[in-house]
């Protein structure tokens, strides 16, 4: 397609962020303390698409569903995952060229190898494991106990994804793995990440040590499974580690990248979705009571796979929570060739950032967008939404491969948690979002436990 040369080359936008250390430091602090507010103010000033050059790179920022559809669906072949820039380099350092970062034939090959792990038959088998691990976690809670729900959900989902996808129990390794990932998360987007690798800082040393810890755990799991020479089960790790011939066989490094990508993507976003949901329900007791009534109407042995259709309100509560607090709050792409979006030509090599957080809170698509209202996702209202106005799992061919797994897991965990417990927020803690790789509650979510039957 020949692009119209009379189209405007660039939309309006703020002054570029340069390598001037004072300008750069001021920008980083502003984004660290209020990225969503800064971006929201820019949308209000410049419109649905704006140009924000960063350290010499062209950056186009979007929030309109029509523009997002162009990028993720209609012209997706012209845009790939970023391979350079600050965010891409940090993610590549952690995840390598796993499914999340790969492009082209490499991505298609990896997607093909991993897809069977998320078939309906496998999901049904996973449901029992999800229930067992959830009950095990809840059995350790006590009335009046102060817990950090963010940490509790993170540990629970880590154990579930480890067992379901890799047939591995991480009880003895959870703290080590979680601490290492936390270190990397804290470093993401910070000043240390912008300095050359040869500049020694305390933060960089901590991050390097964390990466070594993660690699030791992941490579150990890979080597043990390969050493079994197929003696393991039919889980994803066994299939990836022992399957394939010649060029189709994943190398040790490729296995590491995929395993780590699935470890992180398979538990972190779900844990945040659950944490934000429990926070919102603690602020909306009437809705919480409705969810609890829905759960208690089920057989006492549940909820399980067969109960998912009956957990309709539970699902809608999760969907509304992910609208207000999407764990994957922004989606990056890089143009591999010139592409026209919203009347502007985005040149090859330019970065595109889709701000899901701001799409989800746009009053044009969601009436009274700051209000927590699960009934927005009743079938008739959900159907009326424009395509790409709601995309907590992305859209198009690169939408999250584990979407069905994540929703099933979140429904079953939330149902079991609410059947037994209520949560009183810690009045000393102010809940605020922290935007790094994902959107999480800054400082966690401390609460006091109360048995659900006690009013």
Determine how β-strand 421-425 pairs with β-strand 49-51.
unpaired
Domain with 253 in it: what CATH number? 1.10.630.10
Phi, psi of 341 (to 5 degrees): -140, 125
What domain range is 195 assigned to?
21-451
In a domain, 147, yes or no: yes
27, 38 Cβ separation under 8 angstroms: no
Tokens standing for residue 84 = 């350079």
In a domain, 426, yes or no: yes
Q: What is the pLDDT of residues 212-221, one digit of tens each?
A: 888 888 888 8
Lowest mean pLDDT of 4-8, 64-68, 360-364, 388-392, name the range. Answer: 4-8
pLDDT at 234 (0 to 100):
65
In a domain, 90, yes or no: yes
In a domain, 11, yes or no: no
pLDDT at 455 (0 to 100):
44
Please state, for a pLDDT cut of 90, what percent of the chain lies above it.
Answer: 55
| Residue 245 region by backbone torsions, left for phi larger than 0, else alpha for psi between -120 and 50, else beta | beta
Q: What is the pLDDT of residues 349-377, one digit of tens each?
A: 999 999 999 999 999 999 999 999 999 99
Q: Which residues contact 161 (CB under 8 A, 6 or more apart)?
A: 262, 263, 266, 267
82, 333 Cβ separation under 8 angstroms: yes
Q: Is residue 303 reached through a cis peptide bond, with omega within 30 degrees of 0 on the bond before it?
A: yes
pLDDT for residue 123 is more than 50? yes
- The alpha helices in 115-201, defined as continuous H runs, are 120-138, 149-166, 174-187, 191-194
d(CA 280, CA 293): 17
pLDDT at 444 (0 to 100):
95
Calculate the CA 82 to chain-centre distance. 17
pLDDT at 255 (0 to 100):
85
pLDDT at 33 (0 to 100):
77
Q: What is the pLDDT of residues 222-246, one digit of tens each?
A: 888 877 765 556 677 877 777 655 5
Determine how β-strand 146-148 pairs with β-strand 446-451.
antiparallel
Angle ∠(404,231,236) on CA atoms, nearest 5? 15
- Mean pLDDT on 281-309: 93
Lowest mean pLDDT of 6-20, 272-286, 292-306, 313-327, name the range. Answer: 6-20
In a domain, 79, yes or no: yes
In a domain, 199, yes or no: yes
For all residues of the chain together, what is the average pLDDT?
87
| DSSP E strand stretches across 4-155 | 49-51, 59-62, 79-80, 146-148
pLDDT at 88 (0 to 100):
58
- Mean pLDDT on 127-143: 95
In a domain, 13, yes or no: no
66 vs 206: which has the higher pLDDT: 66
Q: What is the pLDDT of residues 437-448, one digit of tens each?
A: 889 999 999 999
In a domain, 272, yes or no: yes
pLDDT for residue 281 is more than 60? yes
pTM: predicted TM-score of the whole model, two decimal places: 0.89
Q: What's the number of domains the chain is made of?
A: 1
């Amino acid at each position: 397609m020949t692009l119209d040369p009379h189209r405007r080359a660039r939309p309006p936008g703020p002054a570029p962020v340069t390598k001037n250390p004072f300008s750069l430091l001021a920008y980083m602090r502003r984004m660290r303390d209020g990225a969503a507010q800064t971006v929201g103010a820019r949308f209000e000033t410049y419109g649905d698409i704006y140009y924000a050059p960063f350290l010499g790179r062209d950056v186009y920022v979007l929030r309109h569903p029509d523009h997002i559809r162009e990028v993720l669906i209609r012209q997706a072949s012209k845009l790939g995952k970023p391979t350079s820039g600050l965010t891409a380099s940090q993610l590549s350092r952690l995840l390598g060229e796993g499914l999340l970062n790969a492009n082209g034939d490499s991505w298609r090959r990896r997607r093909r190898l991993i897809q069977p792990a998320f078939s309906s038959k496998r999901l049904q088998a996973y449901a029992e494991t999800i229930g067992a691990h959830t009950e095990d976690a809840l059995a350790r809670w006590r009335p009046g106990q102060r817990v950090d729900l963010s940490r509790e959900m993170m540990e629970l989902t880590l154990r579930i994804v480890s067992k379901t996808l890799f047939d591995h129990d991480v009880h003895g390794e959870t703290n080590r793995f979680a601490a290492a990932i936390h270190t990397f998360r804290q470093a993401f987007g910070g000043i240390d990440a912008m300095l050359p690798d040869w500049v020694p800082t305390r933060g960089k040393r901590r991050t390097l040590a964390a990466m070594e810890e993660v690699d030791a755990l992941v490579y150990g799991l890979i080597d043990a499974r390969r050493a079994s020479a197929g003696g393991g089960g039919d889980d994803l790790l066994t299939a990836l580690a022992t399957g394939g011939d010649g060029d189709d066989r994943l190398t040790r490094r490729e296995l590491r990248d995929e395993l780590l990508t699935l470890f992180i993507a398979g538990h972190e976003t779900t844990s945040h979705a659950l944490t934000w949901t429990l926070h919102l329900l603690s602020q909306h007791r009437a809705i919480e009571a409705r969810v609890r009534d829905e759960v208690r109407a089920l057989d006492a042995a549940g909820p399980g796979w067969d109960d998912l259709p009956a957990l309709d309100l539970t699902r809608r509560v999760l969907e509304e929570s992910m609208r207000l607090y999407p764990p994957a709050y922004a989606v990056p792409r890089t143009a591999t060739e010139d592409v026209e979006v919203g009347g502007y030509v985005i040149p090859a090599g330019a970065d595109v950032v889709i701000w899901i957080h701001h799409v989800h809170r746009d009053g044009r698509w969601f009436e009274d967008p700051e209000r927590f209202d699960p009934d927005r996702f009743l079938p008739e209202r959900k159907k009326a939404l424009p395509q790409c106005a709601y995309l907590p799992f992305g859209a198009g061919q690169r939408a999250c491969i584990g979407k069905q797994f994540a929703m099933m897991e979140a429904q079953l965990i939330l149902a079991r948690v609410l059947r037994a417990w209520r949560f009183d927020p810690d009045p000393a803690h102010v809940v605020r979002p922290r935007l790094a790789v994902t959107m999480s509650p800054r400082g966690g979510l401390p609460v006091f436990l109360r048995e659900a039957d006690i009013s």
